[in-house]
Amino acid sequence: MSRVKPILPGSAIGVLGSGQLGRMFAIAARRMGYRVHTFSPDEDTPTGQVSDLEVKAAYEDLDAVRDFASGVAVVTFEFENVPAETAAAAESRAPVRPAGNVLHTTQHRLREKWFLSQAGLPLTPFRYVSQAADLPVALQDLGLPAILKTADFGYDGKGQFRITSQDQLFEAWEAVGQVEAVLEAFVDFECEISVVAARSESGDFVHYGAIENQHKNGILDLSIAPARVPPKVAAEAVELTRTVLEKLEVVGVVCVEFFVAKSGRLLINEIAPRPHNSGHLTVDANITSQFEQQLRSVCGLPLGSVKQLAPAAMANLLGDLWTHGEPDWARAAALPDVKIHLYGKLSARPGRKMGHLTAISTNVETALADVQRARHLLAPHS
């Protein structure tokens, strides 16, 4: 595969989406001398606050999308719920990386699972549920408990319902909005891990190893790198991730999330076609962050070193932390190995990701203890 002509510093990069992932991408891009334009239905956004141009328009306004893409050298996205038609409109004016077909596959759970199944990759047993009448048959196939998930637009535990008895079928169907869904077999897993990786147009591949993840209420709470799993499991996760990126022909950064079964077997849970919350710690712990890697890959630059400088742990900061007043930033900042990252969101609400903390140390256990202590110190009355 021939190497593409690189898009050089000074060029404008377009971002579809305007949340915290776009913000951290824009910071990395501007540090390297690029200009950043962001497009979303909102204004004064986390990405817009640090971009050169913030365009407010609906994703369905395809004329506005085409105008936006005409003003940049390449378009990327920072979340997967951008409509596929939007990506196609942008692609008519500028390269879109990862390509629209990657977005189309990974933004819809059923298409994603069909892709994984056809590729022969390990995944959780599932059944397609198009109507309420499909649920009893699907449950008979998969057994209880099982997880019903919307096929479209689900993240951070949204659009999901855990079914533990036959009496909950109506409740489950109501909970997912009575729309097409996927029923997944429940996995009694040992832990969850993810692999964030990048692939260039020429097929070069780099990865950040296995990262261990802990969730609360369906939202990522803590990430630990490197993951506390056997080396064989970590190596297999990386190779499965490589296969995913190659079969999708990704140009950009992708995260593959896994369940690690108690037997040690890996099952792919989800694919995120963008940088990932679990990779935020790479900003402080690695030579090249996942966001700079996204920039390098979509611009055709050589991929950067992913060497990890020290073990690290990341803790999400949700809006719940603001319930009793402004967090005590000075107390957390007093811990010398802890970094504070805030996203510039205008209002805090329960469950909303407002920022994160990263701790680095000589070992993962100390880093984990430090980041949890720092988060505890933030609480106004702790």
Amino acid, res. 204: D
Same domain, 256 and 306: yes
Task: State how far the Cα of 146 lies from the Cα of 24, in Å rounded to an integer.
Answer: 36
CA distance 275 to 195: 10
What integer pLDDT is reported at residue 1 of this predicted model? Answer: 40
Same domain? For 142 and 247 the reply is no
Tell me, yes or no, whether 237 and 327 share the same domain: yes
| 314 and 271, same domain (yes or no) | yes
Does the residue 339 lie in any domain?
Answer: yes
Q: Kindly report, residue by residue over 215-268, the tens digit of the pLDDT.
A: 998 899 999 999 999 999 999 999 999 999 999 999 999 999 999 999 899 999
For the chain, the first-to-last Cα distance in angstroms comes to 57
Domain count within the chain: 3
Quick one: pLDDT band at residue 2, thresholds 50, 70, 90? very low
Q: Is residue 101 part of a domain?
A: no
pLDDT tens digits for 102-132?
999 999 999 999 999 999 999 999 999 999 9
Q: What is the mean pLDDT of residues 53-81?
A: 96
Cis peptide preceding 226, ω within 30 of 0: yes
The pLDDT tens digits of the residues spanning 280-331 come to 999 999 999 999 999 999 999 999 999 999 999 999 999 999 998 999 999 9
Examine the domain organization and report whether 231 and 369 are in the same domain: yes
Structural domain includes residue 119? no
Q: Among 55, 79, 96, identify where a domain stops.
A: 96
Question: 282 and 175, same structural domain?
Answer: no
Neighbours of 177 (CB within 10 A): 12
Closest CA to 110 of 138, 76, 85: 138
Q: What's the pLDDT score for residue 363?
A: 98
> Are 221 and 358 contained in the same domain?
yes
Per residue in 336-349, pLDDT (tens digit) is 999 999 999 999 99
Closest to 53 (Cα-Cα) out of 21, 22, 31: 22
- Pairwise CA distance, residues 288 & 76, whole Å: 19
Side by side, the strands of the sheet bearing 160-163 are: 126-129, 181-185, 146-150, 160-163
H helices of the chain, where? 20-31, 62-70, 84-91, 100-106, 109-118, 135-142, 169-175, 231-248, 282-285, 290-299, 329-333, 364-378
Q: What is the CATH number of the domain that holds 352?
A: 3.30.470.20
Using the 8-state DSSP alphabet, how is residue 155 labeled? Answer: -
CATH code, domain with 143: 3.30.1490.20
Segments forming the whole domain that contains residue 310: 189-378
The distance from CA 370 to its chain's CA centroid, rounded to whole angstroms, is: 24
181 and 194 fall within a common domain: no
